[in-house]
Each structure stands twice: as C-alpha cells, then as structure tokens.
Structure 1
C-alpha cells in the first residue's frame, strides 16, 4: 500500500541545499553588522550619522526591492543573486579603512541595494526549487535556515565589536557573504526574458488585488513587530534587562516555529485558513505586551505575537506565489519583502510619533487595535 509520505515529492534537493548556503551568507552579511554600523558611526562623534546609516540602509533596500525584478528579467536569477551578494558584502570592508560619516552612509546605501537584490532574486529561485504542493513546508524550512543565522548574528556582531573591535566584524561580514558566491553556479539556470518582467512584474502585481491583499495583511502585522522591536527595550527600561531581551528572543523563536507548523498545515488545508488566526494571535500578543509593567504579560505576549506573525509570514507568501503564473516569482518576492520592510518602518515611525503623547503602554494597545481592520481585508480576500 502506498503511503502519503511516498507520494510526496522530495523537498530537499541538491540545488536547495546550495541555495541554503546563499541564504545563510546573505543573512550573516545583513545582520552581523546591522547594529554595529550605528555604533561605529556614533563612536566617530556623529549621533545623527548613526541613525542616518540605518535609515539609508532600509530606504535603499525597499527602493531596490521594487526594481530588482527588472534586473532579473535582464540577467537572470543567478547573475542577479551574485550581484546582490557582492554589493552586500564587499563594501563592508571599506569601513575597516574609513570612519567618515559620508562613507558610512554610502556603504549602507550600497549594502541595502545588495541585500534587496539578494533576497528578491534568491526568494524567486527558492520558489522554483520547492515542489508546488509542499511550498508551505518548504518556505517554512527556508525561513528557519535564514532565521537562525540572523537571530545569532545580530547579537554576535555587537559582542564581537565590543571585545575585538569593529574591523573584525566588517572583515567577517565581507568574507562570509562573498564565500556564499561559491554556491551560486550550482543553482539551476533560468532564461530570463523581457516578457517575463513586463507580463507580471512589480507594477502589474501592485495593481492586482489578489497579491496586494495578502501583502497588506502581512505589512500590518510587520508594523506591530516594528513597534515591539524598536520600543520594547525602552518601555521596560525600569525592569531587569533580561525581560526585553527574553521577549525579543521569544518573539523571534515563536515566529520561526510557527512558520514551520503553518507551512505543514497550509499545505494540507490551504494557507488562506491561517490568515484569521494569524491576525487574531498578533493582536492578542500586542495587547498583552501593552501591560509593560508585568513581565509575564510581556513575555507571554511576545510568544503569542511571534506565533501569529510567523503564521502570517508563511501563509501570505505561499498565497502570493500560488496566485502568479510561472515567471512571476520575482515580483511576488519583491512585493512581499517590501511589505515586510515598509510595515516595520511604518510601525516604528508611527509609534515614535505617538509615544510622546500617550506613553508606551497605550501605544502598544493602539498597535493591537490597528491590527483588527486586517480581518476585513482577509474576509474580502476569501470571497469567491
């Protein structure tokens, strides 16, 4: 008797294993110096340069994400991924030789462009390498492969800079990112065409409600995470430091685990069924975090928020890939990643404007309420 397991296509192929190498390389390349560069700029005596470096990085990332599908249409996935890795890693070495604020900002811009190209091109390649009926599970596995290095690299960069100095961090970033180039030739060839970009590129995707609705739901959830990541350490500054650190770690860990379970459930029952639970869990988590004076509420809320966000990460991306024809993967990758970055930035910016008037707890509560209208978007998206 044939079992369901035997009927399933193989999930992990040689090409996907090679893709994991570039995923890890780009994660290290982005996150290892992410918090180090602002510290480097501040050490030179420029507080404004510290913030400007991060802003430049994020804005360059979003802008490049939206135009990367055109680059892919011209040069193909492998060349685009290689270009992205080079732009992400190589400029970082320049910081070992110059601490000029203008150089720091310029490097941040180039790195942002490189990261955008790497994740959009790489994300499109990944979608091609995963069997369609196991896409949810496959994307969850990819999320774990990329999530663990980012989770470790962010604090590791700060620790290494404090103990060994900035230069080793910048050199390690360059080496780790460029070494990932060795895996790119092993990825499958793809013959890019102009028709591919023009037929269903980013502009067409942004006009297509079946793509923008899941992206909007995800962006709203990302905004909530942006609020927590940016302001939770400040909101709990009168409590032991481990509370904020533990909550942020719990949120990320819960999101990673939830992506895995969401992938398996979505493949069996459809990813659309996960949107409502994802939004509801995210709202409940944010509401709990609003009790900033209660450590148990903060930690528990972070876990619930992470679970909801992780479910939405997987479900929205799987839905969007399923709704485009072959060749539209790069546009989906660009729109989804832009929704992620813009959502987090909008959440941090909006909360920053609100906190001065109402305080941290009320701001977190407002963030929870703002999540609820996303349920109307989900309901409309589920209409036949």
Structure 2
C-alpha cells in the first residue's frame, strides 16, 4: 500500500515561505557582532536577546488562541509583514539605547507569529501516519538557512557594512510574505470540542515532560546561537559560518535520509542518544577547539538538533487534543523564547564572570542531566497509558 504523500501544494508553499523568513532570521547570527561594535558587552547582549524572548513569550497565549480559532493563514501573513518591517528597522539602530530594545521586541513578536503558525500549518497538512517524518522534512526549511544564513552573513560583512546585512534580511522576509499569499484559507473545524485554552495545554500531564526537555534543549542551544560569534571574535580563529553550516547540513542530511527512523524504531530511542550527542558537541566547544574540531562540534550539535526538535514537536502534536494543537504548539515554540530569556542573560553573565569554557561546560551538563530526567519522567508518565 503506497504511503500518503508529504509534498502537497500547501506543504511546499509553507516550506518556501519558512525558508525565506528563516534565511532572514539566521542572518542575525551576526547581530551580536554589530551590538558589540556599538558598545555592548556579552552580558548586555544577553539582556537584549532576553527582552526579545520575553516579549515573544507574552504574545504566545494570544497566538495560540488565534491559531485555534481563526486558522494559521492570518497569523502567517501578519507575522510576515511584521518581520519585513522589523528587519528594515535595524537600519535605524545606532548605538545601544531604548530604540534597540523596541526593534528587537518587534522582531521577536514577528518571529513568534511565524514560528508557531508555520509549524502548526505543517502539522495540519502532513499525514498523521508520517507526522514526525513530515515535520522533520518541513524543518529542513529552517535548518538550511542556519547553514547558509551564517555563510551569507560572512560574505556580506566581508565586503559591506552591517546595513547591507539588514537590507538583505528585509528583502528575504518580503519574499517570504509574498510566497505566503497563495496559502489556502483555513478550514475551521466546528465539529471539534472547544479548546480548553493555553493553561490546560500547559499543565496536561503527558505534555509536562515534553515541556521540560524542550526548555532544557532551548537553553543549551542559546550558547552557540547567541555567543559563538563573540567567542570566535575573542579567539581570533574559527568560522561562525563554518560551524553553523556543519550544524545545519548534518541536521538536514539526517532528516532527508533517515527522517523516518523515529517512527520505525520509536521516537525516544532516537531522541535520547541525539541529545547526548548534542551535549558532546557543547563539550567540544568548551575545549577551546581548533577550526576542524569546531566543525566536528557543529556536526554533533546538528545531530541532536536535527532529531530533537521534530521528535519533541511530533510528540506534542500527537498528545495534544486536536482542538488545542495551536495552544500546544505555541507553548512548544515559546520554550525557545524562554530558553533565550533564561539562557541569554545567565550565560552572558557566566562568560563575563568566568569565561567561555565554563559557560559551554555548564550547557553540556544541562543537556546531559536534562535528558536523563526527561527519560525517567516520561517513562513514568506514559506507563499507565501503555
């Protein structure tokens, strides 16, 4: 019997839209370098990113309600318009002041809208029998920009000022908005029971271990995404673009070639070893690595991210009631803003007080301990259901 198709028209439109928005977003892997040139230290950079994340978290309950009640398309279009505007506003940031925070807040809200709604759409249009594989494949549209966004940023900044980076990001976001326009109008399921709301999804018993491992994962990925740029600048060796290319291409390769593995052998049998490999990559970053070892660290982190994000998201979609998937996915994507909110200032302060090695060592330990706690907790929670 042939398997149900993944590559439908709505899936492909959403894939390209997400690709463009994510490419624009990942150009901002280089933003810490710009903030440092404007006089911000690592602790201030962490606070700036943390404020952005806090705003996105505050917006999530409203986004979850909007997705569950109105569908994904209005949120995707609104988020695309706001993302284009926020990228253009970086051209007006000169120095570190209140306006810097305003621009980052607008950017954070747009990212929250796009991240939650595009993945909610992907979860809707992929067949339930291939959900993790479909979400993993859709996630390639976010991982490729991680690879090429960093490299594109390297190329732009080698030849032009940061203003060229911001203009490029605005153009890419505008293309993502245009691609979103033909998305079909949402189908509202009036036959479903009403959503119990954001709080009910937050405290649902079998989702709690997923929220825990999600926030642990989110905190540790803050370390390279926020501070690798300044780490490389301080060491004077290594490539931000090279690390994220190795990271993202590894994740993409796994999702394309072995994307069905979690559904064949069991999601947690892939998830837990993947997170341990992520911890190994962070441990390598703590060794003051040479350029080749830095690339290996990117590969290990890419394995953990390549499997971790879609598997946990797939488990969230499977366990959440259909009428509350928008709320549940808003919570899941909010965890990554929460990771930035908690991890950005904390890790920046550790760098300031002790150094980069100590910061990366701490994130390695968080990854290991968080994975072990999740494995035991989820086994206990799911045992009665089994």
TM-score, with structure 1 as normaliser: 0.83
Which residue in 2 is equivalent to 1:71? 66
Pairing partner for 2:104 from 97, 101, 108: 108
Which residue in 1 is equivalent to 2:378? 381
Which residue in 1 is equivalent to 2:350? 354
Which residue in 1 is equivalent to 2:195? 199
Distance 2:71 2:217 in 1: 32
Which residue in 1 is equivalent to 2:212? 216
Pairing partner for 2:11 from 16, 24, 42: 16
Counterparts in 2 of 1:86-125, with a 5 A limit?
A: 86-96=81-91, 99=94, 101-125=97-121
Cα deviation, 1:278-326, whole Å, max 9, x if unaligned, reads 2322233333333225666544343223212322112111111111222
Q: Say whether the 8 Å CA contact 2:67–2:117 is kept in structure 1.
A: yes
Q: 1:47 Cα shift?
A: 3.7
Secondary structure (helix, strand or coil) at the match of 1:206 reads helix
Secondary structure (helix, strand or coil) at the match of 1:327 reads helix
Which residue in 1 is equivalent to 2:284? 288
Is the alpha carbon distance of 1:258 and 1:175 closer, same or farther for their aligned partners in structure 2, counting shifts above 3 Å? same
Q: Say whether the 8 Å CA contact 1:222–1:344 is kept in structure 2.
A: yes
Counterparts in 2 of 1:123-272, with a 5 A limit?
A: 123-157=119-153, 159-160=155-156, 163-192=159-188, 199-232=195-228, 241-242=237-238, 246-260=242-256, 263-272=259-268
Question: Mean Cα displacement is larger for which, 357-366 or 66-75?
Answer: 357-366
Distance 1:46 1:280 in 2: 36
Pairing partner for 1:336 from 332, 336, 339: 332
Distance 2:29 2:240 in 1: 19
Confirm whether residue 58 of structure 1 aligns to residue 70 of structure 2.
no
Q: 1:234 Cα shift?
A: 5.3
> Which structure 2 residue ranges, 5 or more long, are not aligned?
none
Q: Say whether the 8 Å CA contact 1:263–1:314 is kept in structure 2.
A: no
Q: Say whether the 8 Å CA contact 2:286–2:358 is kept in structure 1.
A: yes
Q: Say whether the 8 Å CA contact 1:263–1:315 is kept in structure 2.
A: no
TM-score, with structure 2 as normaliser: 0.83
Which residue in 2 is equivalent to 1:3? none
Q: Say whether the 8 Å CA contact 1:217–1:378 is kept in structure 2.
A: no
Pairing partner for 1:324 from 317, 320, 325: 320
Q: Which has the higher contact order (CA 8 A, sep 6+)?
A: 2
Is the alpha carbon distance of 1:285 and 1:97 closer, same or farther for their aligned partners in structure 2, counting shifts above 3 Å? closer
Q: Say whether the 8 Å CA contact 2:77–2:181 is kept in structure 1.
A: no
Q: Say whether the 8 Å CA contact 1:32–1:157 is kept in structure 2.
A: yes
Cα deviation, 1:71-98, whole Å, max 9, x if unaligned, reads 2245331111111111111243345467
Is the alpha carbon distance of 1:120 and 1:258 closer, same or farther for their aligned partners in structure 2, counting shifts above 3 Å? same
Secondary structure (helix, strand or coil) at the match of 1:190 reads coil
Paired positions, count: 377
Is the alpha carbon distance of 1:328 and 1:273 closer, same or farther for their aligned partners in structure 2, counting shifts above 3 Å? farther
Which residue in 1 is equivalent to 2:310? 314
Confirm whether residue 31 of structure 1 aligns to residue 10 of structure 2.
no
Distance 2:191 2:94 in 1: 44
